[in-house]
Amino acid sequence: MTIFIDRLIGAIQEKNTPCIVGLDPALDRMPKSWLKHQGITPKSSIVERAEAIYQYNLMVLDAIADLVPAVKPQSAYYELFGSAGIIALEKTIMAARDRDLLVILDVKRGDIASTATAYAQSYLPSEPKRPYAADAITIVPYLGTDCLDPFFQEAIQWGKGIFVCVKTSNPGASIIQEQKINHRYLYEIVADLIKSAADQSIGESGYSGIGAVVGATYPEAAIKLRQQLPRSIFLVPGVGAQGGGNEGIKACFNPDGLGGVVSSSRAIMYPHLYGSEDTNRDTIRQAAIALIAQVQDILTT
């Protein structure tokens, strides 16, 4: 069994980019002309809307599949449509796999004991097969080791990945994550809780699939966390629409150019909202190419 982290590093090297694309399908961001073509109106049913977000995802996947190593569906955008949305998520994951893309499912689960295990077993095990099984998931850590350990155990057992929300890109997170305890930030203490499991799950690539979500919007924090978790992969949001800068992106990587995946969602999925005349397969592809070039330039200068 080739574990997630080695597959991810291999795909990053093969495609020569650490960029991944978030799949956050929001009907109110999609071009009105595209929605009209899909027959979506204010009276459309939940099932019809869910099918529309899946069809939009197919357009995105076809545009970027050969460019990036992975995609990151955000579960909330699918849960919005109930069981029809979950079906759309399942179909999206299967479509990504059909295009040889790894899937990082952004679910941000966090609970304790048997409940945490149940969440982990919902998304991580390879057997029995589940349509929405992911290669890695995101979790939140603030219920402590009782929350973290069940997710780590399932991920290690099945060779999957975990990204713990350590220093996130949203401005409001600082009120919690930058609290100081014995002269250390809380996010540093959370990173300590990750390190043991990360060190136990290092693949042939030299990296671990037990990683952290570290926003590009906080370069000083990223520098500290990179030193604390030198072999963990960082999932780096805050790029593109959220305004993460060059310094923050570079701080999340090691000198070998590895150590992170840079995620962009809105700027790729909806180029018409960011200066492009239209959104279609070609303009989505061009937005992805622009991100890849931007990140490559940051990491090589």
Catalytic positions are: 108
Collapse the DSSP code of 112 into the 3-class scheme (helix H, G, I; strand E, B; otherwise coil) and give the result: coil
Among 235, 215, 218, which residue's Cα sits nearest to residue 103?
Answer: 235
Collapse the DSSP code of 107 into the 3-class scheme (helix H, G, I; strand E, B; otherwise coil) and give the result: strand
**Cα distances (angstroms) measured from residue 114 to each of 118, 149, 254:** 6, 11, 36
Residue 128: asked if its preceding bond is cis (omega within 30°), the reply is yes
Check if the beta carbon of residue 257 is closer than 8 Å to that of residue 299.
Answer: yes
What is the number of alpha carbons within 13 Å of residue 135 lying toward its C-beta? 23
- Residue 129 backbone dihedrals phi, psi, to 5 degrees: -65, 140
Question: Ramachandran region of residue 11, left (φ > 0), alpha (ψ -120 to 50) or beta?
Answer: alpha
What tokens appear for 135 in the block?
């290669």
Query: Using alpha carbons only, how large is the chain's radius of gyration in Å?
Result: 18
Determine the Cα–Cα distance for residues 6 and 104; give it in Å rounded to an integer. Answer: 14
Determine the Cα–Cα distance for residues 166 and 198; give it in Å rounded to an integer. Answer: 14
Check if the beta carbon of residue 226 is closer than 8 Å to that of residue 234.
Answer: yes
**Contacts for 82 with CB less than 8 Å, ≥ 6 apart:** 46
